[in-house]
Amino acid sequence: MNTTTVVDKQTKQTNPNLKKVKTSNGIKRTASLILNVFLFLLSATCLFPIIWVAYSSLKTQKEFSLNIISLPTQFHFQNFIDAIEITNMGTLLFNSTYVTVISVVLTLVLGFVTAYVLSRFTFKGRAIVYTLFLLGMLIPIHSLLIPIFALFNSVNIANKWYTLIFPNVAFNLPIVIFLIENFIRTIPKELEEAAYIDGSSMLKTMFYIILPICKPVLATALVLSFLHTWNEFPFALVLINDQNLRTIPVGLANFTSSFTVNYPQLMAALVIAILPVVIVYLVANKQIIKGMAAGAIKS
Amino acid sequence: MKSSALRPKWYVIWGLLLPTILLYGFVVIIPLFNSIRYSFYKWMGGPLNNFVGLDNYSRLIHDDEFWGSFQHTMLFVVLCILGQIGIGFLLAIFVNSKLAKFQSFHRISIFFPVVVSAVVIGFIWSIIYNKDVGILNWVLQSFNLDNLIVPWLDDPKYVMYSVTAPIIWQYIGLYMIIFLASLQSIPQSLFEAAEIDGASGWKKTIHITIPMLNGTFLVALMLCIAGNMKAFDHIFVMTGGGPGNSSMLMSLYAYTMSFDRMQMGYGSAISIGMLVISLTIIGLSRKLLGGNQS
């Protein structure tokens, strides 16, 4: 062991040749420059389309068609007023918001309880329950569009204010359950045993001792289910007919089909549609990035 | 001593699971079986009384439109694997490099498209591809590359590539983050040892980084296949599967057949076909690429 380090030191001492070091520094600097320029170009490619849409939404239609790339000469907020009116954006925002809030809360509560039971207790049928949830992550959800549409219509729960909560919660549950279940497994059981000895009931232990420990994984689950629900499209498209119950993605999809395209106006609608997500992302990008990566790897 | 709280009675356990199981069973499990049942009927959405046996499936096997959509889906998934995983991996290496500056800025901006709704991304890219107001043609013109301009979304020859590009673009950030996370978990001592032995940057990448990330590649691949078999929203918005059927994916074809042409029995058969194909591909790739990974 000692001899090898000695040899290393010797070669290091004989090797240094000032010229060589200098050129390799030069190469390093050029490489660093190229790499950084390249990375900035890439970042720009990811941001620019959305920035372009944002500032173009403030131009008049004429100004936009004359020069698509220039910045607006003055802010033409009329596009936003028109877009809000045409798409009925107030209603869309309201619907998307309450559907998302209720779905996310339900997902987290049901997901936590289910994950706790699955991770802590052994019982008959546990493997079957587990497999069913696993199945839910593998089946392409579009293969369920028709039967869900038929079932919801036959029991008369399609096209209601609460309709979309069902598929949103059900399709968010599997990944949320697996995330939380994995996390609870890392919590030592002694914690609960101690609590029981102190006379804590099961529900109390679950909600007052385990739940607070699960905060980080619940944050991940929150991020994932918020984004899935807010952006969900196919079920909202198929299960909702009533204009007053539509969510943002479906409202947008209907926007272009009903009017001759006024691009700055469409862009204004797009800006309003992504604004909530952008704000959330600006505030919590660290948690979102971490959460989505964790969710992706676990699935 | 082991109280009822540590080993609860069976009815307590099932009582706790009941709400989840009821909801999940109602939305996922029952429809799954119904879908199989519907696929044996000629059904337009009214009463279910025209049993046709396996007719829908024999039609499916001879349906050129369906196999066309199957081919498009396969091409699409392969392009997404190359694009999302390939570019995502390279970017992770670049961003992770000691030479890179403003790493967190790059991470945040490259990841940003991931959180935007697919419908909005679809709209933004249909504007980007637009022949009059699209930014893509504007860029090509400013570099004097007018001869490269094609009707991006209107030419059956190019449309599959045009609709795939935005989806690759949107999710590169997700794969970059996945690779970054596991890059940072490789012990630094390995690289230091290699440096002492005189390994260059590329040698380190090939001989240390890539082998150490084997498991991550597998996870990314599974995610990429399963995720992109589900693609629907972007293409629905950009082309609706057209022109003709030239950008029709299986998911879009099942939707169009069921909700535009109202052939719900046959649409169910398509859905089941799609389900079987998806599960087979996911299962096969898992087997082929080392089945010991969970």
Query: According to the model, what pLDDT value does residue B3 have?
Result: 52
Q: What total of structural domains would you count in chain B?
A: 2
Confirm or reject CATH 1.10.3720.10 for domain A82-298, answering yes or no. Answer: yes
Q: Comparing C-alpha atoms, which of A280, A299, A282 is closest to residue A96? A: A280
Q: Using 50, 70 and 90 to split pLDDT, how confident is the model at B30?
A: very high
Looking at per-residue confidence, does A299 or B54 come out higher?
A: B54
Query: Do both B79 and B173 map to the same domain?
Result: yes
Query: Do both B72 and B136 map to the same domain?
Result: yes
Cα B133 from Cα A99, distance rounded (Å): 35
Report the alpha-carbon angle A228-A165-A227, nearest 5. Answer: 15
For residue B156, the distance in angstroms to the closest alpha carbon of chain A comes to 22
CB B158 within 8 A of CB B72: no
Query: According to the model, what pLDDT value does residue B162 have?
Result: 94
Does A2 have pLDDT greater than 60? no
Q: What is the mean pLDDT of residues B41-60?
A: 86
User: Are B13 and A117 an interchain contact pair (Cβ–Cβ within 8 Å)?
Assistant: yes
Q: What is the mean pLDDT of residues B136-160?
A: 88
Cα B155 from Cα A7, distance rounded (Å): 66
Query: According to the model, what pLDDT value does residue A299 have?
Result: 59
User: Are A273 and B117 an interchain contact pair (Cβ–Cβ within 8 Å)?
Assistant: yes
**CB-nearest partner of A143 from B100, B233, B274:** B274
A55, A289, A290: best to mutate for the B interface, most B CBs within 10 A: A289
Query: According to the model, what pLDDT value does residue A262 have?
Result: 83
User: Are A49 and B124 an interchain contact pair (Cβ–Cβ within 8 Å)?
Assistant: yes
Residue B196 forms part of a structural domain = yes
- Rank A38-42, A129-133, B166-170 by mean pLDDT and report only the highest: B166-170
The one-letter code for the residue type at B193 is A
Across A74-88, A151-165, B63-77, B205-219, least confident range:
B205-219
Query: According to the model, what pLDDT value does residue A10 have?
Result: 43
Distances in Å between the Cα of A92 and the Cα atoms of A30, A182, A236, A275, B137 are 51, 36, 12, 13, 33
Residue B294 forms part of a structural domain = no
Cα A237 from Cα A158, distance rounded (Å): 11
Residue B48 forms part of a structural domain = no
Q: Closest-CA residue in chain A for B178? A: A293
Q: Using 50, 70 and 90 to split pLDDT, how confident is the model at A22?
A: low
pTM, entire model: 0.87
Query: Do both B65 and B7 map to the same domain?
Result: no
Does A269 have pLDDT greater than 80? yes
Cα B254 from Cα B271, distance rounded (Å): 6
Across A231-245, B57-71, B279-293, least confident range:
B279-293
Query: Do both B208 and B275 map to the same domain?
Result: yes
Q: Closest-CA residue in chain A for B123? A: A270
User: Are A110 and B12 an interchain contact pair (Cβ–Cβ within 8 Å)?
Assistant: no
ipTM of the complex, rounded to two decimals? 0.86
Cα R_g (chain B), whole angstroms: 24
Residue B280 forms part of a structural domain = yes
Does A291 have pLDDT greater than 70? yes
Q: Closest-CA residue in chain B for A131? A: B29
Please give the biggest Cα pair distance in chain A: 85
Segments making up each domain of chain A, as ranges: 2-56, 82-298
Query: Do both B62 and B110 map to the same domain?
Result: yes
Query: According to the model, what pLDDT value does residue A16 have?
Result: 47
Chain A residues in contact with B97 (beta carbon < 8 A): 35
Q: Which two tokens stand for residue A297?
A: 């790897």
B4, B7, B12, B17: best to mutate for the A interface, most A CBs within 10 A: B17
Query: Do both B120 and B25 map to the same domain?
Result: no
Q: Using 50, 70 and 90 to split pLDDT, how confident is the model at B285?
A: confident
Q: Using 50, 70 and 90 to split pLDDT, how confident is the model at A260?
A: low
User: Are A50 and B135 an interchain contact pair (Cβ–Cβ within 8 Å)?
Assistant: no
Does A88 have pLDDT greater than 70? yes
Query: Do both B220 and B113 map to the same domain?
Result: yes
Q: By residue range, what is the domain housing residue B11?
A: 1-38
Does B293 have pLDDT greater than 80? no
Tell me what percent of the residues of chain B surpass a pLDDT of 70.
Answer: 96
Q: In chain B, what is the straight-line distance between the N-terminal and C-terminal CA atoms, in Å?
A: 37
Residues in CB range of A45: below 8 A, 6 or more apart: B169
Looking at per-residue confidence, does A7 or A114 come out higher?
A: A114
Mean pLDDT of chain B: 88
Query: According to the model, what pLDDT value does residue B19 have?
Result: 94
Query: According to the model, what pLDDT value does residue B5 have?
Result: 59
Chain A residues in contact with B34 (beta carbon < 8 A): 147, 150-151
Chain B residues in contact with A133 (beta carbon < 8 A): 24
Q: What is the mean pLDDT of residues B107-113?
A: 93
Query: Do both B130 and B227 map to the same domain?
Result: yes
Cα B252 from Cα B241, distance rounded (Å): 7
User: Are A202 and B4 an interchain contact pair (Cβ–Cβ within 8 Å)?
Assistant: yes
Cα B23 from Cα A110, distance rounded (Å): 10
User: Are B35 and A252 an interchain contact pair (Cβ–Cβ within 8 Å)?
Assistant: no
Identify the burial level of A10 via C-beta atoms within 10 angstroms of its C-beta, where 0-12 means exposed, 13-18 middle and 19 or more buried: exposed
CB A57 within 8 A of CB A271: yes
Residue B44 forms part of a structural domain = no
CB A108 within 8 A of CB A173: no
Q: Using 50, 70 and 90 to split pLDDT, how confident is the model at A231?
A: very high
Beta-bridge partner residues of B41: B51
Query: According to the model, what pLDDT value does residue A184 have?
Result: 92
**What are the pLDDT digits (tens) for A118-144?**
998 888 888 999 889 888 888 888 889
Q: What is the mean pLDDT of residues B207-220?
A: 83
Q: Closest-CA residue in chain A for B253? A: A142
Query: According to the model, what pLDDT value does residue A257 have?
Result: 58
Residue B96 forms part of a structural domain = yes
**What are the pLDDT digits (tens) for B250-274?**
999 999 999 998 899 999 999 999 9
Query: According to the model, what pLDDT value does residue B179 have?
Result: 92
Query: According to the model, what pLDDT value does residue A205 have?
Result: 87
**CB-nearest partner of B124 from A8, A193, A270:** A270
Q: What is the mean pLDDT of residues A197-210?
A: 86
Does A13 have pLDDT greater than 60? no
Query: Do both B126 and B84 map to the same domain?
Result: yes
CB B164 within 8 A of CB B228: no
User: Are A39 and B38 an interchain contact pair (Cβ–Cβ within 8 Å)?
Assistant: no
Query: According to the model, what pLDDT value does residue A200 have?
Result: 82
- Read off the CATH number of the domain in which B166 is found: 1.10.3720.10
**CB-nearest partner of A117 from B17, B23, B102:** B17
**CB-nearest partner of A43 from B6, B109, B230:** B109
Q: What is the mean pLDDT of residues B204-226?
A: 83
Does B11 have pLDDT greater than 90? no
Chain A residues in contact with B66 (beta carbon < 8 A): none
Cα B219 from Cα B217, distance rounded (Å): 5
Query: Do both B19 and B139 map to the same domain?
Result: no
Q: Closest-CA residue in chain A for B218? A: A297
Query: Do both B28 and B77 map to the same domain?
Result: no
Chain A residues in contact with B120 (beta carbon < 8 A): 249, 252, 270, 273-274
Query: Do both B263 and B169 map to the same domain?
Result: yes
Signed CA dihedral, B229, A220, B94, B213: sign only? negative
- Rank A43-52, A191-200, B279-288 by mean pLDDT and report only the highest: A43-52
Q: What is the mean pLDDT of residues B133-160?
A: 88
**What are the pLDDT digits (tens) for A96-109?**
999 999 999 999 99
